[in-house]
Amino acid sequence: MVFSRQLTSKEIEILIRFQEFVKHAHAESDSHDYSHVLTVTRNAIKIAKKIDEPVDPFICIASALLHDIGKSKPVFSHIHGLLGGAIAEEFLEGCNVPAKMRDKICRAVIRHTPTSMIPPETTVEKVIFDADCLDRLGLMGLIRGFVGKTGSMEEILSTYLVKREKDYATLHFEISKELGEWKQQELEGFIPFIQKRLEDRMSSIKDIFKKENLLGNDAKNNDN
Ligand SMILES: [Fe+2]
Ligand SMILES: [Fe+2]
């Protein structure tokens, strides 16, 4: 199955307007980058083209572009889905998007993140949820997972790994799991390497003396 239909030139014009709005809004935000929005849009298209249920391309792409618009405002990140729904509603109304379409897009924006505590229900809502989730996986997801975090690198990494395992389990479609698995494979070998390096960084001062052959005989005897 591909999309339920193709985009009209008028819709393409509107989506380009959305893209400009989102690009501008994210440029002023310090929490989320515009490349994430484009990646989620690409992921959403990939997923929608491979699933059995029909998806409207305009609603899908508009939802993907607007999904993190709530992050363009300095708010507590947990409510960015809900706030994004309100911002999207106002913006879409200003663009004369019909009420029925607005409603579908805003629902997808609100439900794209588990932090909204309202799980996705419709196919397009699940597509956007999965598309967003996929950008938290793989090498780029790992890098994004470190951005803006405070605390030790060990803690950030171990929290990241636990969360991503949960994320993978929440994916809705086979194609999402396939894409997710491929992304996780990127990290195989890389994660143990980072863990080993982090462990090395935490070597005690005495371990360093040993490794660098700085222990005199009396110290070696004391050590035994
Ligand atoms: Fe989000
Ligand atoms: Fe996102």
Chain segment 41-71, per-residue pLDDT in tens = 999 999 999 999 999 999 999 999 999 999 9
Instruction: Kindly give the distance from the C-alpha atom of residue 2 to the centroid of ligand 2, in angstroms, as a whole number.
Output: 24
Q: Which residues contact 90 (CB under 8 A, 6 or more apart)?
A: none
pLDDT band at 215 (very low <50, low <70, confident <90, very high): confident
Instruction: Kindly give the distance from the C-alpha atom of residue 192 to the centroid of ligand 1, in angstroms, as a whole number.
Output: 28
Establish if 159 belongs to a structural domain: no
In angstroms, the CA 194 to CA 190 distance is 6
Domain range for residue 59?
9-135
In angstroms, the CA 4 to CA 61 distance is 13
Instruction: Kindly give the distance from the C-alpha atom of residue 203 to the centroid of ligand 2, in angstroms, as a whole number.
Output: 37
Establish if 197 belongs to a structural domain: no
Establish if 85 belongs to a structural domain: yes
CB neighbours of residue 161 within 10 Å: 15
Instruction: Kindly give the distance from the C-alpha atom of residue 107 to the centroid of ligand 2, in angstroms, as a whole number.
Output: 15
Instruction: Kindly give the distance from the C-alpha atom of residue 112 to the centroid of ligand 1, in angstroms, as a whole number.
Output: 6
In angstroms, the CA 14 to CA 10 distance is 6
Establish if 195 belongs to a structural domain: no
Q: Which pLDDT does position 202 carry in this prediction?
A: 83
Cα–Cα separations (whole angstroms), residue 146 to 174, 193, 201: 28, 17, 18
Residue 12 scores a pLDDT above 90: yes
* Digit-coded pLDDT (tens) for 96-118: 999 999 999 999 999 999 999 99
Establish if 44 belongs to a structural domain: yes
Tally of domains in the chain: 1
Establish if 209 belongs to a structural domain: no
> Does pTM surpass 0.85?
yes
Instruction: Kindly give the distance from the C-alpha atom of residue 211 to the centroid of ligand 1, in angstroms, as a whole number.
Output: 45
Establish if 47 belongs to a structural domain: yes
Ligand nearest to the CA of 116: 1
Q: How many CA atoms lie within 13 Å of 130's alpha carbon, on the beta-carbon side?
A: 29
Establish if 37 belongs to a structural domain: yes
* Digit-coded pLDDT (tens) for 113-122: 999 999 999 9
Q: Which residue intervals of the chain are DSSP H helices?
A: 9-27, 34-50, 57-66, 80-94, 99-111, 123-134, 138-146, 153-169, 174-187, 190-201, 205-211, 217-223
Ranking 2-6, 30-34, 91-95, 128-132 by mean pLDDT, the lowest is 30-34
CATH of the domain at 69: 1.10.3210.50
Q: Which pLDDT does position 216 carry in this prediction?
A: 86
Ligand nearest to the CA of 114: 1
Q: Which pLDDT does position 32 carry in this prediction?
A: 60
Q: Which pLDDT does position 1 carry in this prediction?
A: 57
